Amino acid sequence: MLKVKNLKAGIEDSQILKGINLEVNAGEVHAIMGPNGSGKSTLASVITGKEEYEVVEGNIDFEGDDLLELSPEERAQKGVFLSFQYPVEIPGISVSNFIKTSISEQRKATGMKPMTTKDLLKMMRDKMELLNIKNGYLSRNMNEGFSGGEKKRNEIFQMAMLEPKLSILDETDSGLDIDALRIVANGVNKLKNKNNATIVITHYQRLLDYIVPDFVHVLHNGRIIKSGGKELALELEEKGYDWITKESDKKWD
């Protein structure tokens, strides 16, 4: 589904991603871990098309399309979804209005018929139940006055409504308490199927107890320096990052 080849990207004069290679197939869950500043969020931003990053080399293939040629909304309409690390507030747009617009743009782009209000409302209520979100949430303005946890749940709610092919969860678990974490993880797991894929970017191994990855990659200094199965996450939890990063630094210096 997603093929990232030798991706090198940076911002202004500093190069952050120094040659990323990553392949994600349908039905898979990939975890990307790494210390602060390793380039995790940059990778997510580049895949989804944030303009401030400049790609100097490499390409990103998504189901036959060259993502780097597409605008952010086009990538979204193709089925790429990012759960932001820091979701922004959008004044003046209610959650329901925002999602309605988002869905109708997707459908327009893929030539599907628009969703009826009735169906839309029903779908919203179902997903709210799935994520244990209270009533009154839909009429609030996007992320305005939301606590950190509520913002993250709003992201997963949108994911549930938009049903993307590839979901990138950028530190979705940071700042969530254990109850909220379980609900979010539950939501993500229920949405998983053999046709979609998830990239989970996380700082804390704890999330991976709930969203079990098929592959774990360690990102350090803009490169994936080690990949493995879910056991790798447990090893990192026990030993920290030093044992891998030291090795890698030696190699790349």
Partner 1 sequence: MSEKKKQSEDELLEKVTSTEYKYGFTTDIESDTIPKGLSEEVVRIISSKKNEPEWMLEYRLNAYKTWLEMEEPNWANVNYEKPNYQDVIYYSAPKQKPVLDSLDDLDPEMKKTFDKLGISLEEQKKLANVAVDIVMDSVSVATSFKETLSEKGIIFCSISDAIQEHPKLVKKYLGSVVPTRDNFFSALNSAVFSDGSFCYIPKGVKCPMELSTYFRINEAGTGQFERTLLIADEGSQVSYLEGCTAPMRDENQLHAAVVELVAMDDADIKYSTVQNWYPGNDEGVGGVFNFVTKRGICYKNAKISWTQVETGSAVTWKYPSCILKGDNSIGEFFSVAVTNNFQQADTGTKMIHLGKNTKSTIIAKGICAGKSNGNYRGLVRISKGAANSRNFSQCDSLLMGDKCGSHTFPYIEVKNNSSKIEHEATTSKIGEDQLFYCNQRGIGTEEAIALIVNGYCKDVLNQLPMEFAVEAQKLLEISLEGSVG
Partner 2 sequence: MGLIENLKSYSEEIQISDDKKDLLDSFLSNGFPTTKDEEWKYTSLKKVIANEYNIENKGQVVDDSVIEKYSLGFENQIIFSDGKLINTPTIKGVSISGFSEFESNTNDSILDLNKSLSQNGFTISVDKNTVVESPIEILFISTTETNFSQYRNLISIAENAEVKFVERIQNLNNSSSFVNNFTRINCDKNTKIEYNKIQNNTSESQLIDTVNVYQEQDSTCDINTLLFGGSFTRNNLNFEQNGFNCESNMNGVSVLDNNQLADNHTFVDHKSAHCRSNEMYKGIYLDNSKGVFNGKIMVRPDAQKIDAFQSNNNLLLSENSSIDSKPQLEIYADDVKCSHGCTIGQLDADALFYMRSRGIGVEEAKAVLTYAFASEAIENISVDQVKLLSKKLLAQKLNVELDFSV
d(CA 186, CA 220): 29
* Residue 132 backbone class (left: φ over 0; alpha: ψ -120 to 50; beta: rest): left
Structure tokens at 61: 């293939």
| Least distance in angstroms from the C-beta of 224 to partner 2 | 23
Is residue 86 a contact point for partner 2 (CB under 8 A)? yes
Indicate the angle between helix axes 95-110 and 117-130, nearest 10 degrees: 120
Pick the stretch among 75-83, 174-182, 198-206, 237-245 that binds partner 1 (CB under 8 A).
75-83
| Least distance in angstroms from the C-beta of 50 to partner 2 | 15
Beta-sheet strands, E only, within the chain: 2-11, 14-24, 29-33, 54-62, 65-66, 80-83, 166-170, 197-202, 215-220, 223-228
Is residue 96 a contact point for partner 1 (CB under 8 A)? no
Give the torsion through C-alpha atoms of 191, 37, 59, 205, to 10 deg.
-30
Q: Which of 13, 51, 92, 178 is in the footprint of partner 2 by CB under 8 A? A: 178
d(CA 68, CA 27): 23
Is residue 92 a contact point for partner 2 (CB under 8 A)? no
Is residue 109 a contact point for partner 1 (CB under 8 A)? yes
Is residue 129 a contact point for partner 2 (CB under 8 A)? no
Q: Which does 90 bind (CB under 5 to 8 A by kind): partner 2, partner 1, none?
A: partner 1
Binding-residue pattern over the window 199 to 218 for partner 2, x denoting contact by CB under 8 A: ----xx-x------------
**Between residue 26 and residue 65, which ones bind partner 1 under the rule CB under 8 A?**
48-52
Residue among 233, 194, 238, 241 at smallest CA distance from 211? 233
Is residue 76 a contact point for partner 1 (CB under 8 A)? yes
Is residue 112 a contact point for partner 1 (CB under 8 A)? no
Tokens 């790349």 found at: 252
Q: Which of 71, 139, 147, 195 is in the footprint of partner 1 by CB under 8 A? A: 71
Residue among 221, 178, 226, 179 at smallest CA distance from 31? 226
Is residue 52 a contact point for partner 2 (CB under 8 A)? no
d(CA 81, CA 104): 16
Which residues make up the interface to partner 1 (CB under 8 A)? 48-52, 71-73, 75-77, 81-82, 84, 87-94, 97-98, 101-102, 105-106, 109, 141, 144, 158, 162
Which residues make up the interface to partner 2 (CB under 8 A)? 86, 89, 145, 147-148, 173-175, 177-178, 203-204, 206
